[in-house]
Structure 1
Amino acid sequence: MTRSPATPLPPPKARRRLRETAALTQAQLAARMGVARETVRAWESGRTTPRGRKREAYAKLLNTLAEEATARRAKPGPAASPEPAPVPVVVAVGAGSANASGEAADSLVLPAKPLDERRSAQGSGPEPEPGPEPAAERESGPEPRPVPTPEPTPATAALTPAQAFDALYEFGAPALVRQTFLLTGRRELARESVERAFQVAWEHWPEVARDRDPVGWVRAAAYEYALSPWQRFRLRHRHPEPPPADPGDRTLLNTLLRLPPPHRRTLLLYDGVGLGLPETAAETEASTPATANRLLHAREAVADRLLELADPEVLHRRLAELASTERLRAARPPTVRMGSERRARFLTRAAIAFTVALIGTTALTLRTAPTHYEPPVSPGETVRGVPPKVAPGALSDEELELRQKLRDQLQDGPERLTPRLE
């Protein structure tokens, strides 16, 4: 019995490009396929590949999207105005912007998405978001008139790297400082962690600018720095900071700080920021079952001390309120950029100085090192039984007898080999 060959599919990047060309989000495509949005994301990232009937339906849908895109390009239309220059860096500058994956960006306080939307991957299926109608419904109705392309404005024009970084910082820094405060309970450490994370982001700006979630990239760096075990050895962080004034906020913060750091981070990302379980597992570098267990244990620990927080919705609201009550301000974007550049210059100069010192030490060693091997002088040993050397003088009777005996004996010849009796 032979197996029929699988239906060919375009590469993962081509799948995503076809979906974006058709102005469809991952949730809308998942609704049309009857799968979860996380499944579509896995297909487009290349982590998994559909099989069986899902593969055939997915291939057919991609072929339809490709034909529609070809038809739109071939359709004649009015002379379009010149297109604006492509924006090399896409940065969210408002609460209503979205990242490349179709998810809303982090808000200025805490939650990025409502709790019902972030659990769409675990439910029966996400509801389709409001967006463009399917191709069949668009063809049945009257054809809309083409809308001329608007002229490029300063908001949509190409941004320089510094402007894009400043926009990302002004959008994400306030929320990240509040989140890091909930993670550590220290205001100064929260501000320092966020500033250091943005400095690292500025050092790796080409990578961050092309990332699908720049705020998530910076958030992961800030959390790692804030939860570093080396922080406990710093003198400035050994003294406790004043707790929140409200008793309820103080109890909630103390309860969070009693959790293990991995559980605390998981609870903050899922119930505070609003990430889904797969996104939380990916950011904490853990498997999805392990992340789910951490979340359950963290919720149980919080509910044991605060019974009213057993409901995830109430816990989400209380975390947002606790983060909003603290007046935490971040530094200005130019200050962070200049700090990153100064740090990079210091490290560069330190590396150059170390290299020069290493070269000088090597040259001095080569200059002063011996060119040949000199064996060491062995230490002297004392020989016993040998009479001490005396000054020249008359021989004793024993020495005279010995000398005469040596002279009388034969020095060579076969006679020396014959033993004689004396």
Structure 2
Amino acid sequence: MTRSTTDEAAVPPLPSPKERRRLREAKSLSEEEVAAAVGVTRATVRSWETGRTSPRGRKRALYAKLIAPEPAVKPPAVKSTAVKPSAVKPPAATPEAAAAAVPEAAVPEPADLPVAPPVPEAPPAAPPADAPPAPDPAPDSDTRSGAEAPDERRVSPAEAFDELYARTAPGLVRQTYLLTGRRALARESVERAFELAWQRWPEVAVDRDPAGWVRAAAYEYAMSPWHRLRRTHRQPDAPPTEPGKRALFDALLDLPPAYRRTLLLYDGVGLDLPETAAETEASTPAAAGRLMTARAAVAERLPELADAAPAEQSALLHDRIGGLARAEHVPVPRPARAVRTGSENKARLWTRAAVAGVALLIAVTGLTLHTAPTHYEPPISPPERVGGVPPRGGPQKLTAQDLKLQKSLSEQLAHGPERLVPRLE
């Protein structure tokens, strides 16, 4: 037991489930190959990559060694503000059709569709050796790099949350609007996602991509089919008045939800294919097929996309989606402090409701036990009318002759003849 514990402690910590999948696909490994190398089933590997379970012991060491990145492509220690890592792209995990659709160069994102870099909850206790103190960091550097200096104050969780909210909330509302076609629902979805992120902030703060965590939560809430039952969200808002933007808006809303989300993540937000597949919970070939189908459907509405090459289509769609998002007037989300307060109030309300429900259940159970009978009492059957039984017999009514005889006997009893009394001889 001591040796097993020592072996587990020697294995470096595994990356997040989404990162595990990206590393596997970056090495062109399938789930079957990883399962055969580690000695488990394909379902077990899939559960490791979705976060339902984690490997242990010897299998953990083999799995960590198998998906460990190569030293030549290992990312630097200093975080960059790039939206997606463009250095690693799995060539074998994408089908040939998707390879033609994926542009070789990363397309820059519009200013209104940002994806904020990871914001840690608190800086590390000691500054890393490769991060020298910089008095004036560059505008595109991580805003938390200055907090690593020993003379700087520690960043509180509320401040980290507020910075993430300020960077990503406005653009995320515009993205969600393109996904649903409803302005009020887009704002509600983003605020709901950030409320959930604040409730789980210890988990979100250490995630590799906090903005992606919030984006996935907002998209899931916005695409819920239960919104059709709400009167205010049954019909989409009025489309744009400009013909070109209206054609793109109608083409996006006519796509199935999964295809629309894949197109928005890849061509709108700028994620690469493995990250798009991981966020939509699909395989990389399936995500590539959805992307190609969605592009073909949009190209039927936009003639300028029909004759363009795959790389040009991606650039044109990126610009058109960004322009559509900037042109539409979407509601501004509430301040971060209001979102944090609302999240805390909802958590407090649900906690009180759960406590009240448990207390009510205990009271009802106690009352039932107190008033329940201690022994069984058979119920009294209700009365029934019984037929076919003769009436009970009795003396009949005396006639006039009988009454006269009865009277005479009663009067003459004392003066009549002596009765015979038996004597003992």
Which residue of structure 1 aligns with residue 353 of structure 2? 350
| Residues 3-402 of structure 1 aligned to structure 2 (within 5 Å) | 13=12, 37=26, 104-105=81-82, 112-113=83-84, 117=86, 120-122=89-91, 153=146, 157-310=153-306, 311-328=313-330, 329-378=332-381, 386-391=389-394
Q: Take 2:361 and 2:392, find their aligned partners in 1: how far apart are those partners?
A: 58
Cα distance change of structure 1 residues 155 and 14 upon mapping to structure 2, 3 Å threshold: closer
Q: Take 2:12 and 2:300, find their aligned partners in 1: how far apart are those partners?
A: 47
Q: Which has the higher contact order (CA 8 A, sep 6+)?
A: 2
Q: Give the drift of 1:155.
A: 7.9
Q: How many residues align?
A: 302
Q: Take 1:372 and 1:101, find their aligned partners in 2: how far apart are those partners?
A: 76
Q: Is the 8 A contact 2:78 2:131 kept in 1?
A: no
Percentage of matched positions with identical amino acids: 52
Residue deviations 1:305-360 (CA, integer Å, cap 9, x gap):
11213422111111111111223322211011011111111211221222222222
Q: Give the drift of 1:13.
A: 3.0
Q: Give the drift of 1:210.
A: 1.1
Q: Is the 8 A contact 2:28 2:91 kept in 1?
A: no
Q: Give the drift of 1:385.
A: 5.1
Q: Give the drift of 1:379.
A: 5.1
Q: Give the drift of 1:122.
A: 3.0
Amino acid in structure 2 at the alignment position of 1:13: P
Greater displacement, 347-356 / 250-259: 347-356
Which residue of structure 2 aligns with residue 93 of structure 1? none
Q: Is the 8 A contact 1:113 1:275 kept in 2?
A: yes
Q: Give the drift of 1:265.
A: 0.3
- What is the RMSD of the two structures over their aligned residues, measured on CA atoms? 4.2
Q: Take 2:70 and 2:174, find their aligned partners in 1: how far apart are those partners?
A: 46
Q: Take 1:321 and 1:60, find their aligned partners in 2: how far apart are those partners?
A: 39
Q: Give the drift of 1:232.
A: 1.1
Q: Is the 8 A contact 2:277 2:284 kept in 1?
A: yes
Q: Is the 8 A contact 1:267 1:298 kept in 2?
A: yes
TM-score normalised by L of structure 2: 0.61
Q: Is the 8 A contact 1:118 1:276 kept in 2?
A: no
Amino acid in structure 1 at the alignment position of 2:12: K
Q: Is the 8 A contact 1:118 1:275 kept in 2?
A: no
Matched residue of 2:239: which SS?
coil
Q: Is the 8 A contact 2:25 2:274 kept in 1?
A: no
